[in-house]
Structure 1
Amino acid sequence: MATDDYLADPEELAILTGKPATDPRLLQHLKNATRRFRGAVGHKVNLVENDEVVLDGLGRASVLLPVWPTTAVHSVRLDGVLLAEGVGYQWSDSGVLRRLGCDRWPDRLRCLRVIYSHGWATVPEDVAEAVLDKAATMAAVPHGVASKAVGGQSVTYGTQAAVGVTDQWQKCVDRYRIRTAGDA
């Protein structure tokens, strides 16, 4: 079962690698792959309660909260004034925050302060699969020198194969990455 430390199940990685799920190196590869994924998408992925963000108004009817799915919007302040849900704003699971009571959010930077909860209580399967694939690759690549030639030839290090990304990884990162104002 994935925990906050890992975005995939160590038992599944053990099956893929043939190593025990309690192997410290295996767990470190899983932790490193989890860190890489979180770094690439810009957020934790797991459920986060009461996260506070400051957003630009952009003069539009709707703004996007940076991380989806949105599980709750606890408060929205516009220039320090608390807005009431259903009167001043409404929100969707996909992270759309729509202005009510007038046409648009003001076109001002940093005018919105939102406290909301977001993320997944259970890690999405495609995220877990991408992290497992990366961790298995990291576990399979020997550390240190992978090849050495004589007579002035170069040395190749085994860790290079674990640094690249697959198409599967990149598509998953693109799907779950933090959203910016340009995505609206």
Structure 2
Amino acid sequence: MADLLADPEELAASLGVQATDPKLLWALTAASRRFRGAVRHPVSLVAGDVVTLDGTGQQALLLPSAPVIAVTSVKLDGVTITLGADYEWSADGILRRIGGCWPDRLRCVEVAYDHGYAVVPEDIQEVVVDQARALYRIDPGVQTKTVGGQSVTFGVQAAIGVTAQWTAAVQRYELNRGDRP
């Protein structure tokens, strides 16, 4: 499954179920989505992606995904500009204008590029499997516990937190941290 960030076989082995178990696949899909949402990019390899960016009036723009594998074209106001003469790029997702700045206009830069990991890094796979294991073991819905005259209700969100390893992996791979409070 292309949208999973970890191998179902690995999760299945740790749970003692089949890799085709629907609940296992749901948990692994949910954990993969959560990780992608936390880091704010697809993680997996995407070839031929095209994005339209706002100019900032600055020399550098940030592409919305990394690592950048290739930039195949950049258009400024619909006109193709030249790598090495007009712009340069980095694997970290920086698109730098050579000899000036990008215009301060909305939707004036179009970039076609390849980004992501052909093989998902092992630390991402590990935390996604851990999160999926936790999701698999907890039944969705409301769980209530009554002791004496007091009742406490926990939903799945309260029962499934994140590990220190998850937090470290998200921090390592997340993009555009500057726009968060």
Specify if TM > 0.5.
yes
Q: 1:169 matched to which residue of 2?
A: 166
Q: Secondary structure at the match of 1:128?
A: helix
What is the root-mean-square deviation of aligned Cα atoms in Å?
2.4
2:47 aligned with 1:49? yes
**Counterpart in the other structure of 1:116:** 113
Say whether the 8 Å CA contact 1:64–1:181 is kept in structure 2.
Answer: no
1:32 aligned partner: 30
Q: CA deviation at 1:57?
A: 2.5
Q: CA deviation at 1:104?
A: 2.0
Pair 1:152–1:143, CA change in 2 (3 A): farther
- Amino acid in the other structure paired with 1:116: Y
CA contact (8 A) 1:67 1:179 kept: no
- Match of 1:105, SS state, is coil
Aligned to 1:6: 4
Q: In the alignment, is the contact (CA less than 8 A) between 1:141 and 1:158 conserved in 2?
A: no
* Cα deviation, residue 72, structure 1: 1.1
Question: Which residue in 2 is equivalent to 1:128?
Answer: 125
Q: Is the 8 A contact 2:11 2:129 kept in 1?
A: yes
Change in CA separation of 1:5 and 1:16 when aligned onto 2, cut-off 3 Å: same
Deviation at 1:107, TM superposition (A): 2.8
Quick one: which amino acid aligns to residue 162 of structure 2? V
Q: Is the 8 A contact 1:66 1:180 kept in 2?
A: no
Post-superposition offset of 1:50: 1.4
SS of match in other structure, 1:87: coil
Instruction: Please give the alpha-carbon distance, in whole angstroms, between the structure 2 residues aligned to 1:26 and 1:178.
Output: 29
Equivalent residues in 2 for 1:61-140, closer than 5 Å: 61-100=59-98, 102-140=99-137
Q: For 1:19-67, what per-residue CA distance to the aligned partner results, in whole angstroms no more than 9, with x for missing partners?
A: 2322221121111111211222222211111112122332222222111
Between the two proteins, the alignment pairs up a number of residues equal to 179
Flag structure 2 segments of 5+ consecutive residues without an equivalent.
none
3-state SS of the aligned residue for 2:114? strand
Query: Deviation per CA, 1:90-113, whole angstroms, max 9, x where unpaired?
Result: 11222221212x222223332211
Q: Which amino acid aligns with 1:126?
A: D
Q: Gaps (5+ residues) in structure 1?
A: none
Q: Secondary structure at the match of 1:75?
A: strand
Describe the shift of the 1:181–1:56 C-alpha distance in structure 2 as closer, same or farther (beyond 3 A). Answer: farther
Question: Percent identity over the alignment?
Answer: 53
Question: TM-score with structure 1 length normalisation?
Answer: 0.84
Contact kept in structure 2, 1:145 and 1:155, CA below 8 Å: no
